[in-house]
Homo-oligomer: A and B are copies of this chain.
Amino acid sequence: CNYSSTYICFHFVNAFPLILLDLLPAKNGEEATMQFLLELVDILTNYVRKSFDRSTKVLDFHHPHQLLEGMEGFNLELSDQPESLEQILVDCRDTLKYGVRTGHPRFFNQLSTGLDIIGLAGEWLTSTANTNMFTYEIAPVFVLMEQLTLKKMREIIGWPPGEGDGIFSPGGAISNMYSVMIARYKYFPEVKTKGMSAAPRLVLFTSEHSHYSIKKAGAALGFGSENVVLLSTDERGRVIPADLEAKILDVKQKGYHPLFVNATAGSTVYGAFDPINEIADICEKYNMWLHVDGAWGGGLLMSRKHRHKFSGVERANSVTWNPHKMMGVPLQCSAILVREKGILAGCNSMCAGYLFQPDKQYDVSYDTGDKAIQCGRHVDIFKFWLMWKAKGTIGFEQHIDKCLDLSQYLYDKIRNREGYEMVFDGVPQHTNVCFWYIPPSLRGMEHNSKEYREKLHKVAPNIKAMMMESGTTMVGYQPQGQKVNFFRMVISNPAALQSDIDFLIDEIERLGRDL
């Protein structure tokens, strides 16, 4: 019996003599298929259980060359001949064994952490349904779920009811790319047909702390990365509105056209929220598009306690919001939301007759494909919809508030602790807590000396490498501007408790003590 649980019991009466050709669509393939899938589910559920168990390692680190050479029968190479189903199941087990447990309570490495069981169930169903969002015809339920969810998200943003549009895209970078495309279409629709030469030199503005996807979009869409102007920030990483206005005037004086401002709501490193209302005033004054990149911060819109950080968001023309980050939805789940109805389709439609036939028997305004830059589009909505059903809006709010409380706990714990230095002063706006750990050997050294900076720069990478080797926890680090490498702790993991924060601090001190 695979489970000792009192609730559930499997009986695999036979051993596993199955071959691929026994599986569906083979005639009478039902039993073999069920047996195979349940063996797999056994592997997966065991993995899930262990991922939540703090006595399990977060990862079992190996270098690329080690995995490529093959680990005890785990061979990554593909061959002409098939493997047995038994080996396939072993491959599945090994794939998980040498991976990283992103759902582990002590995994803090990325903005997306944790494993939500309802979200997981949603993904399993999504892959079983294996369909495509481009038409109502083959995804009727999912298309409606997307529409209703986007509507709800726009309501939460605070846009007028009945207006607006949006779409789920494969991640925040693509969502941000959409915002730039739509802004260009709004002010210079002829670029769609005639290219960038039909417009004056267009300039985009975004914080020096913002996500690199705005610059990437500028490069990809033909603006050029030099026409993405980086805005200065205060010591907390928030855009300084006066700097924006000065740079707009500078650009205008050169004869270029200021088109678009991105305000970040939850920056990647500091978790900073740009002052949206002040930026919106400037955008209105100069007739520019205002995009809010809430990829990371978006979840806070669902918290009555924290949504004030988004004050002014209802004045934005478009918003990126990634439920796969702060809200714990499995990857990928990112929405681009647009205030003006129709502009998304106007920007992207090519009216491909073979796919979007106007003479179908249903209301074809539900076909979403021509609004997208994709053709086929993965179903990203269901897991999110299902989590919303299971938690309710209040469940998301509780999760957000809890993560921010934990982050405050960490902040309170280390801000005056010996051997720690905060990267910026004051309570973080999001769950990002940025700090240096100063090993005893560096304490008391002159902070501005070259030697100190060089040594400190190596501390976080060294501790991180040891952390990964020992597999106990994972947290990110990076430099920022003139600031040498520091830890960036982020909390979006629903499994994390105060004791896990304590563990992280203990672990940093244990590993860094003798550096």
Classify chain A: how many residues form its interface, as a range: 35 or more
Contact B37 A48 (CB under 8 A): yes
Q: Identify A392's interface contact among B12, B37, B80, CB under 8 A.
A: B80
Which residues of chain A from 327 to 368 have any CB-CB distance to chain B below 8 Å in the complex? 330-332, 348, 350, 352-355, 357, 359-363, 366
- Chain B CB within 8 A of A129 CB: yes
Q: Which residues on the B side are within 8 Å of A62 (C-beta)?
A: 140
Q: Identify A142's interface contact among B12, B99, B477, B494, CB under 8 A.
A: B99
Contact A125 B40 (CB under 8 A): yes
Closest partner residue, chain B, to A465 (CB atom) = B361
Which residues of chain A from 239 to 274 have any CB-CB distance to chain B below 8 Å in the complex? 268-269
Closest beta carbon of chain B to A68's beta carbon, Å: 6
Closest beta carbon of chain B to A362's beta carbon, Å: 5
Closest beta carbon of chain B to A7's beta carbon, Å: 5
Closest partner residue, chain B, to A468 (CB atom) = B361
Q: Which of A224-232, A404-412, A413-421, A438-446 contacts B (4 or more CB under 8 A)?
A: A224-232
Closest partner residue, chain B, to A351 (CB atom) = B212
Q: Which residues on the B side are within 8 Å of A350 (C-beta)?
A: 212, 215-216, 219, 225
Closest partner residue, chain B, to A227 (CB atom) = B195
Contact B171 A376 (CB under 8 A): yes
Question: A373 with B177: in contact, given A195-B196, A354-B488, A378-B378 (CB under 8 Å)?
Answer: yes
Q: Which residues on the B side are within 8 Å of A201 (C-beta)?
A: 195, 197
Q: Which residues on the B side are within 8 Å of A389 (C-beta)?
A: 78-79, 82-83, 87-88, 91
Contact A485 B20 (CB under 8 A): no
- Chain B CB within 8 A of A110 CB: yes
Q: Which residues on the B side are within 8 Å of A76 (C-beta)?
A: 141, 144-145, 148, 385
Which residues of chain A from 143 to 168 have any CB-CB distance to chain B below 8 Å in the complex? 144-145, 148-149, 152
Question: A361 with B461: in contact, given A29-B52, A193-B225, A373-B177 (CB under 8 Å)?
Answer: yes
Closest partner residue, chain B, to A203 (CB atom) = B195
- Chain B CB within 8 A of A495 CB: yes
Q: Identify A130's interface contact among B67, B102, B476, CB under 8 A.
A: B102
Q: Which residues on the B side are within 8 Å of A36 (C-beta)?
A: 117, 121
How distant is the Cα of A81 from the Cα of B394 in the complex, in angstroms?
6
Question: A172 with B34: in contact, given A20-B118, A109-B138, A141-B98 (CB under 8 Å)?
Answer: no
Question: A373 with B220: in contact, given A13-B6, A45-B37, A478-B353 (CB under 8 Å)?
Answer: yes
Q: Which residues on the B side are within 8 Å of A99 (C-beta)?
A: 129, 131, 139-142
Contact B139 A100 (CB under 8 A): yes
Which residues of chain A from 9 to 41 have any CB-CB distance to chain B below 8 Å in the complex? 9-14, 20, 23-25, 29-31, 33-38, 40-41
Question: A140 with B100: in contact, given A34-B3, A227-B195 (CB under 8 Å)?
Answer: yes
Q: Identify A152's interface contact among B78, B127, B479, CB under 8 A.
A: B78
How distant is the Cα of A134 from the Cα of B173 in the complex, in angstroms?
12
Contact A378 B198 (CB under 8 A): no
Contact B130 A103 (CB under 8 A): yes
- Chain B CB within 8 A of A115 CB: yes
Contact B102 A37 (CB under 8 A): no
How distant is the Cα of A391 from the Cα of B213 in the complex, in angstroms?
38
Closest partner residue, chain B, to A497 (CB atom) = B25
Closest beta carbon of chain B to A363's beta carbon, Å: 6
Q: Identify A10's interface contact among B8, B79, B211, CB under 8 A.
A: B8
Contact B67 A141 (CB under 8 A): yes
- Chain B CB within 8 A of A303 CB: no
How distant is the Cα of A375 from the Cα of B363 in the complex, in angstroms?
35
Contact with B along A83-108 (1 / 0, CB 8 A): 10101100110011011101101000
Contact A92 B386 (CB under 8 A): yes
- Chain B CB within 8 A of A64 CB: yes
Which residues of chain A from 56 to 82 have any CB-CB distance to chain B below 8 Å in the complex? 61-65, 67-68, 76-82
Contact B92 A125 (CB under 8 A): yes
- Chain B CB within 8 A of A393 CB: yes
Question: A388 with B41: in contact, given A99-B129, A102-B130, A193-B226 (CB under 8 Å)?
Answer: no
**Can you name 10 A-B pairs with beta carbons within 8 Å?**
A33-B49, A63-B363, A82-B392, A92-B125, A170-B374, A268-B355, A353-B479, A355-B478, A359-B485, A378-B378
Nearest 4 CB-CB pairings of A with B: A222-B222, A195-B224, A123-B127, A25-B495
Please name 11 further chain A to chain B contacts, defined as beta carbons within 8 Å, in addition to the given A82-B391, A195-B218, sorted by A numbering: A25-B52, A33-B117, A37-B45, A38-B41, A64-B366, A77-B148, A127-B330, A170-B374, A213-B375, A332-B377, A361-B468
